[in-house]
Amino acid sequence: MRNLKLVLKYDGTNYCGFQVQREEPTIQSELERAIERITGERSRVIPAGRTDAGVHAEGQVANFKTGSRIPTERVPHALNSVLPQDIVVADCVEVPMDFNARYDARSKLYRYTVDNGPFPSPFWRRYALHLSQPLDVGAMRAAGTFLVGTQDFASFRASGSAAKTTTRTIQRFRCFRSGNLVHIEVQADGFLYHMVRIIAGTLLEVGTGKRSVDSIREVIRKRNREAAGPTAPAHGLRLMRVSYS
């Protein structure tokens, strides 16, 4: 048996998230179907994170175990030949048998993108939230600095989470503009349900002047979902990278 680690890119528009769901299209079901086609085996795919419906990825990581002897450098070509065009295997390496893409991950980097032009770009309509009101990126950047560090992020957790603790460590935060696009990047050791999308929705309120920069401190202190802003739509979110020790 071998344990193979995959790096995946996908457009999540047409999928109900990563995790297998009965009678619903998901990234995992398509990937496991493709693996069975090229190896003749039914394999369980373990992702680094279960992205939600409509969320995209440029650097999702997953692993699966197989008895197939297909050379690792050929695995991406073989899988991509049978996968839908909106799911791509970008890399494959053999890893130790005890490697687990989820539990061995040390951090994940997510990016939320806003199309801040006066009119929506047809090229970004599936990958960015359009908001025509000008954003104060400097204020958003200043507010985001309060999120960095080990804190209780209960205010940024949507209902339905089974997490035992709401304490997480945000290791890095960035907010920057590139033309009409505004990007919010958050890297952490783990995330709560809808955490990045709630952070994005809250910072957009700062950027449009609906709340002050310092109000983020109070949002964190209250540990109450109602204190934070709205949950930003899923299509603006991408999993950019998963890091391992």
Query: Is the pLDDT reported for residue 204 higher than 80?
Result: yes
Dump pLDDT digits (tens) for 86-135: 999 999 999 999 999 999 999 999 999 999 999 999 999 999 999 999 99
Helix (H) or strand (E) run with residue 62 in it: strand 56-66
Judged by phi (left if over 0) then psi (alpha if -120 to 50, else beta), residue 50 lies in beta
Query: Is the pLDDT reported for residue 206 higher than 80?
Result: yes
Q: Which residues pair with 64 in a beta bridge?
A: 4
Average pLDDT, the chain: 97
Residue 206 CA from chain centroid, whole number: 22
Helical H runs in 47-162?
A: 75-80, 137-144
On whether the CB atoms of residues 106 and 245 are closer than 8 A, the answer is: yes
**2-95 CATH fold:** Alpha-Beta Plaits (3.30.70)
CATH code reported for the domain at 106-244: 3.30.70.660
Total residue length of the chain: 245
**pLDDT band, residue 28 (cuts 50/70/90):** very high
**pLDDT band, residue 144 (cuts 50/70/90):** very high
106-244 shares the fold of 2-95: yes
52 is catalytic: yes
Residue 17: CB atoms within 10 A of its CB come to 19
Dump pLDDT digits (tens) for 149-184: 999 999 999 987 777 899 999 999 999 999 999 999
pLDDT at position 22: 85
Dump pLDDT digits (tens) for 46-59: 999 999 999 999 99
pLDDT at position 37: 97
pLDDT at position 236: 98
pLDDT at position 188: 98
Query: Is the pLDDT reported for residue 45 higher than 90?
Result: yes
Instruction: State the catalytic residue, choosing from 52, 98, 104, 189.
Output: 52
pLDDT at position 154: 97
Domain extent listing, the chain: 2-95, 106-244
Residue 82: CB atoms within 10 A of its CB come to 13
**Percentage above 90 pLDDT, the chain:** 96
**CB under 8 Å, gap of 24 or more: what pairs does 120-129 form?**
121/180, 124/181, 126/11, 126/13, 126/235, 127/11, 127/56, 127/235, 127/236, 127/238, 128/181, 128/235, 128/236, 129/232, 129/233, 129/235, 129/236
Instruction: Look up tokens 């985001």; give the residue.
Output: 144
